[in-house]
Amino acid sequence: MPGAYNSNDIFDVNGDVVIVTGGASGLGLSIAEVMAANGARVLILDIDQGGLDACQAKFQASGLALDVAKLDVADIPALQGAIHAAAERYGRIDAVFANAGISAGSGPFTEFGEIANVREENWNHVLQINLTAVFATIQAASIHMKRQRGGRIVVTASVAGLRAERHVGYAYVATKAAVVNLVRQAAIELAEFGVCVNGIAPGPILTNIAGGKLRDPVVAKPYIANVPLARLGDPDELKGLALLLGSRASSFITGTTIPIDGGMTAW
C-alpha cells in the first residue's frame, strides 16, 4: 500500500550503535534493554561495577549485544573519551541517551531542603552530574553525529524541570530545567546536520534514585497524590518513548521534551 508504514521498519534500530549513560539500573537499564531487544549494539556507561556485571550477565543470557564501561560521568574527560572511543571502535554513533543523574535530596518543605540550608558542595555535585555531564555528553556525541550527518540525542530530564516540584531539592529542579532548554538549544544548532535532540521528562517512577525511597509506601503517598493515574510508574513504561526517540520514527521530532508522568503535567 503506497505511503503505508510498517512499525518494524520505522522503529528499526537493528545494527545501530547506542550509548546509554547511567544505564546499569532504573530508567537507563530500561532504555538499554529496549534498544538492545530491537537489535541495537548498546554501550552502557555507569559508575556501578556490580550493576554493569549484572547487566552483562542478563543481556548475554538473552542473546543481546552489550558492551559496558565503568566511569563516573562527573569525570568529564573520561566521559567524553569513552564516547570518542566508541565512535572510533564502532565507526559511528546512532543514538546517545544522556540519562545519568542523581537526586538533590529533600525538597523545600523540609527542614534540610529549605533554600537557606542548601549546601554549596551538594549544589555543585548535582550540577556537575545532572547538567555539566549532560552537556558534555551532547557535546561529544555532536562531533561524530555532525560528521556522519545524522543521529539522535535523548536527555533524561524530569517533570521537575517543567514545573515547580515541592518534593525534590533545589539543585535537582534547577538542573532538570536547564537541560530542557539545553535540548532546545542543541536541537536548533544540530538540525541542519540531521541530528535530532529531545528530552524525556519522567514523573515519579519506581527506580533507585534517592536510595530507592519511593519503594516506601509512606514516602510514595504524596507523590502518588499528584498523579492522575494514581500510581507510580514502572521503568518498563519508559521503553516505548525511548524507542520512539531513539529510532528513525522520531525523524521529524526535535527540540522538545516529552513528559511521561501519569498525567502530572495535565493538572
Q: Which of 12-21, 31-40, 212-221 shows the lowest mean pLDDT across its residues?
A: 212-221
Q: Which residues contact 222 (CB under 8 A, 6 or more apart)?
A: 167
The confidence score (pLDDT) of residue 213 equals 79
- Look over the chain and give the mean of its residue pLDDT values, rounded to a whole number: 94
The confidence score (pLDDT) of residue 162 equals 97
Confidence of residue 212 (pLDDT cuts 50, 70, 90): confident
Query: What distance in Å separates the CA atoms of residue 169 and residue 179, rounded to the nearest whole number?
Result: 16
Residue type, 189: E
Q: Is the pLDDT of residue 2 over 60?
A: no
The confidence score (pLDDT) of residue 54 equals 97
The structure's pTM equals 0.95
Q: Is the pLDDT of residue 29 over 90?
A: yes
Which residues are part of the catalytic machinery?
A: 172
CA distances from 41 to 55, 62, 124, 144 (A): 14, 14, 34, 17
SS3 43: strand
The confidence score (pLDDT) of residue 120 equals 95
The confidence score (pLDDT) of residue 9 equals 87
**Please, is 122 exposed, middle or buried when counting C-beta atoms within 10 Å of its C-beta (0-12, 13-18, 19+)?**
middle
Confidence of residue 211 (pLDDT cuts 50, 70, 90): low
Q: Determine how β-strand 17-21 pairs with β-strand 41-46.
A: parallel
What percent of the chain is predicted at pLDDT more than 90? 85
Confidence of residue 4 (pLDDT cuts 50, 70, 90): low
* Helix-, strand-, coil-residue percentages of the chain, each rounded to 5: 50, 15, 35
The confidence score (pLDDT) of residue 208 equals 76
The confidence score (pLDDT) of residue 1 equals 45
Query: What distance in Å separates the CA atoms of residue 177 and residue 131, rounded to the nearest whole number?
Result: 10
The confidence score (pLDDT) of residue 15 equals 96
Q: What is the pLDDT of residues 89-146, one digit of tens each?
A: 999 999 999 999 999 888 886 877 899 999 999 999 999 999 999 999 999 999 999 9
Contact 200, 173 (CB under 8 A): no
Q: What is the CATH number of domain 8-265?
A: 3.40.50.720
The confidence score (pLDDT) of residue 167 equals 86
Q: What is the pLDDT of residues 183-195, one digit of tens each?
A: 999 999 999 999 9
Confidence of residue 219 (pLDDT cuts 50, 70, 90): confident
Q: What is the pLDDT of residues 39-91, one digit of tens each?
A: 999 999 999 999 999 999 999 999 998 999 999 999 999 999 999 999 999 99
